[in-house]
Each structure stands twice: as C-alpha cells, then as structure tokens.
C-alpha cells in the first residue's frame, strides 16, 4: 500500500522520453521504480514482483495497457493503478475508473501531476489508517454511544454500571449538549428493564399547557379536542423507563403530580379520577443546579430528594479535552460518507484549547460544517472547525449618554440575541442552546424585546 515510505512502482511506456524523465522524477521522490517498454514485459514484471503502484500507457507494443491494468488489478488488488494516454476520451476514463483505475494522465502531462497525485494517495492512506486506529480506540473505549477515555468519563461509566441494575430514580446533571440523554439510555439499556421501552420527554421543548397531557394522557371529552382516550408517556413506558429532560423547567403544579407518581406509583389521566398503576423507572436530567432552585422556591424540596437517589454528573467537554480526538474521529465517520478526512495536530490542539460552550453537540456541528466546506480537500480546515461567533454589530457601542445598568443590560441582550439568531440563521432551538437558556426563555425574551 502507499504510505510514508519508498513505494514500489511499475512504469510501463514505450515512449523513451516519458520512461526516462518520469522514472527519474519518481526516483527523486524516494520511490523504487521498475521501467519496462511494452505490455509483455509489464505482465512478466507483475508475475515476478509485488508493486504498490502501476503506471501504464494504454497503447503499447505486443500487449496493450488495458490488459496490463486488468492483470495488475487481479495480481495486486492493493496496488494503485494509473494509465497514460494520448488518445483519451470521457468514455475511456469512465470505463477505466469503473475497472478500479485511480486516474488517467492525458499526454502530454507534467511529471509533477503524477507526483502530486501519488502524494495525495499517500495522504489518503495515512488518514484511513489513522481513522481506523481511532475507530478501534472508540470501539474499545466507549460505553454504548458514549465516547471517551478521560477520567471524568470513566467515572460516568462506573456510575452507570453501578446503578443500572437497581430500581432507584436517577438524576443526571450536566450542561446543554453534554449527552445527558445518552447517559439515560445506557442506564436503561443496562438494566433489567431493557426489553421494555424508554419514553422521552423534554420539558423545555414542550408547551407548558401540554406537559401534563404528554406525561399522563387524557380521556375522551377531557377538553374540547379530546376526541378519544390517549395514554401518556408513563403508560407507554410500562415496565420500562421514562426520561424527563430539562426537569428544571417543570411547572410547580406538574411537580406535585410527579411526586405522587414517585410516592404511590400511579397516575390519573386528565379528565379521569380513576388511578392507573404504573411500573416505570424515572430518570430525569437537569441543566441547572436543582438544589439552588429548591432554595429559590422554584423546585419542590420533597421532589428533589425523591429524584436525587442516584446522581450522575456529565462533565462538560472543556473538562474532558483529551476525548476530543476520539469524538472528532467518530463524527468524521458519521458525516464523512467513507471519505478519510483528517485534522492536523495543530488543529486538534486548537480544538482542545477551545472552551466549547455548546459541548459535544457544538463539536459535532463543527465537524459536520467543516466536512461540508471541505470540497475536494481531505484535511478539515481550522477556520471551519472553529467558526467564531463574531458578527457585525455585536460590539457594545458608546450610546452617547450614560445609561442605567438595567438599560445597558437590556441593550446588550438584544444585540447578542440578534447576533446569535443571525449566526444560527434563525434556528431558535440552536440559538437557545448557544445562549444557555431554554427555547421557552428565548421566546419570552424575543417577545419582551420585540424581536
């Protein structure tokens, strides 16, 4: 295979000028080159030796280049095969590529074209090897869909393994984008309940008026549009688990109902007083410190203690920067469609130094964006991986008068929200994630500021 070493090349061409000059140029690159003058000699050479690369003219005495390429692909499937021709056509190039030929050089060509193409193949092979190495590391250093070898992530894996088989409630704490739902999935799929469903609800993305309906369901006639009975998430998760994300946004009246579920293991559908027994493990996640919310009167203390039986903190990406190469390799595999993209050591170092306010989700979007902008390049560019959030108008200008602190705060919030919305092209969910608030909070601020 091609690599960062001397490559064995078979050069078959009956034009002496090309054979001599191209052969010398390839040797100058450190490669070992065997030159033959016709197709018959080329076939004998392919039988006698193993080559990493074959470059053959199409029209040669005795045996043509098509027979040489066919034999090269049969005898040395790992070899990179190129052809040279003075009679090229689109149909010929299409046919050759279909036969596994890496490229066609139209005569007259510059020797540098061949050299650059070989260098590109070497780089591609190196990237494939590196990606495979990282893939092997990922397979060996992951817990389900969670990826990482850092001390903080190993602690998370140990906690999951320790509590998964129990029936206790689980409180998962972590910033937006850290992978709290993935942690919840591993708690469920490593528990005795794995054969039953895990239902998911995000409180932040569910309108407040619908949260009770989604969780507990309703009976026909409970309200105007209730044309039939409908079970909620708790009933759908029977014998399994329910994952309630963003529980820090849960209204107090719903907190009371959730507390009853934890205490009595039963629910009531909206519009019905008949209790329904539920056998469900409750896993919740919060992006805020729930105990602080308890002290502020925004979260029930009795519910907090019921939920906080087992506690898992998911570290932000800035605390596990050593996992970034593995995560980048995983996202390249996910979005690269088999192409061997890579990142320079300097690029990886820059990624590890960045604070990643959006955590793993932001890194994933960065890799996806860099691949989209890569074009024909295999190396992902630094400016696409770390797109700065600096837009015109985001600076704080002098207002021409002395403002109150409240006025200054509001003006800064308006400018920053507009900048983030412009950055996300109006995607409010992504904007809320970057701002570190819920989508509901963003809507409220936009309405308050008339945005």
Phi and psi at 278, nearest 5°, equal: -130, 140
Grouping H, G, I as helix, E, B as strand and the rest as coil, residue 57 is: strand
Q: Quote the pLDDT of residue 3.
A: 42
Name the nearest CA neighbour of 184 among 314, 93, 83, 367: 314
What is the per-residue DSSP string for 150-213?
SHHHHHHHHHHHHHTTS---EEEE--TTS-HHHHHHHHHHTSTTTTS-EEEEESTTS-GGGHHH
Structural domains of the chain, with CATH: 8-125 (3.40.50.2300), 143-315 (3.40.50.300), 319-385 (1.10.8.60), 405-449 (1.10.10)
pLDDT at residue 5 tops 80: no
Q: What is the DSSP string of 322-377?
A: GGHHHHHHHHHHHHSTT---B--HHHHHHHHHS--TTHHHHHHHHHHHHHHH-TT-
Q: Give the model confidence (pLDDT) of 418-435 as tens digits.
A: 888 877 778 887 788 888
pTM here is 0.61
Residues of the chain above pLDDT 70, percent: 88
Contact indicator for 174, 313 with CB cutoff of 8 Å: yes
> pLDDT tens, 123-182?
777 777 766 665 555 444 456 789 988 989 989 998 998 888 889 999 999 999 999 999
Q: Which pLDDT band, with edges at 50, 70 and 90, does 402 fall under?
A: very low
∠ CA 275-281-285, nearest 5°, is 115
Say if residue 246's pLDDT is above 60.
yes
């Amino acid at each position: 295979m091609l690599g960062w070493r001397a490559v064995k090349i078979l050069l078959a061409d009956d034009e002496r000028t090309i054979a001599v000059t191209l052969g010398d140029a390839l040797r100058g690159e450190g490669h070992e080159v065997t030159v033959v003058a016709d197709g018959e000699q080329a076939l004998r050479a392919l039988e006698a030796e193993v080559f990493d690369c074959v470059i053959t003219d199409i029209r040669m005495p005795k045996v043509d280049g098509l027979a040489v390429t066919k034999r090269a692909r049969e005898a040395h499937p790992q070899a990179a095969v190129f052809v040279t021709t003075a009679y090229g056509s689109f149909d010929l190039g299409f046919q050759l590529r279909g036969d596994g030929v890496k490229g066609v050089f139209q005569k007259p060509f510059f020797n540098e074209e061949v050299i650059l193409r070989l260098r590109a193949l070497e780089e591609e092979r190196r990237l494939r090897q590196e990606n495979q190495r990282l893939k092997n590391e990922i397979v060996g250093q992951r817990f389900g869909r969670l990826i990482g070898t850092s001390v903080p992530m190993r602690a998370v894996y140990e906690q999951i393994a320790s509590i998964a088989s129990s029936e206790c409630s689980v409180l998962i704490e972590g910033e937006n984008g850290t992978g709290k739902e993935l942690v919840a999935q591993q708690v469920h799929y490593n528990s005795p309940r794995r054969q039953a469903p895990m239902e998911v609800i995000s409180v932040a993305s569910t309108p407040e008026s619908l949260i009770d309906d989604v969780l507990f369901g309703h009976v026909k006639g409970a309200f105007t549009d209730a044309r039939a009975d409908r079970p909620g998430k708790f009933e759908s998760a029977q014998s399994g688990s329910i994952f309630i994300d963003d529980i820090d946004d849960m209204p107090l009246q719903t907190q009371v109902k959730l507390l009853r579920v934890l205490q009595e293991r039963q629910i009531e559908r909206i519009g019905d007083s008949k209790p329904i027994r539920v056998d469900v493990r409750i896993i919740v996640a919060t992006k805020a410190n729930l105990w602080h919310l308890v002290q502020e009167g925004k979260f029930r203390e009795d519910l907090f203690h019921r939920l906080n039986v087992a506690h898992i903190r998911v570290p932000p990406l800035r605390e596990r920067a050593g996992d970034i190469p593995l995560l980048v390799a995983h996202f390249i595999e996910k979005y690269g469609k088999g192409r061997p993209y890579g990142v320079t050591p300097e690029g990886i170092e820059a990624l590890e130094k960045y604070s990643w306010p959006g955590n793993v989700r932001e890194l994933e979007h960065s890799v996806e964006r860099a691949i989209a902008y890569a074009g024909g390049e295999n190396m992902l560019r630094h400016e696409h991986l770390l797109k700065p959030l600096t837009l015109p108008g985001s600076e704080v200008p002098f207002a021409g008068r002395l403002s109150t602190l409240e006025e200054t705060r509001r003006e800064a919030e308006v400018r920053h929200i507009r900048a983030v919305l412009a950055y996300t092209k109006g995607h409010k969910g992504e904007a809320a994630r970057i701002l570190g608030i819920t989508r509901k909070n963003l809507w409220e601020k936009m309405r308050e500021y008339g945005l």
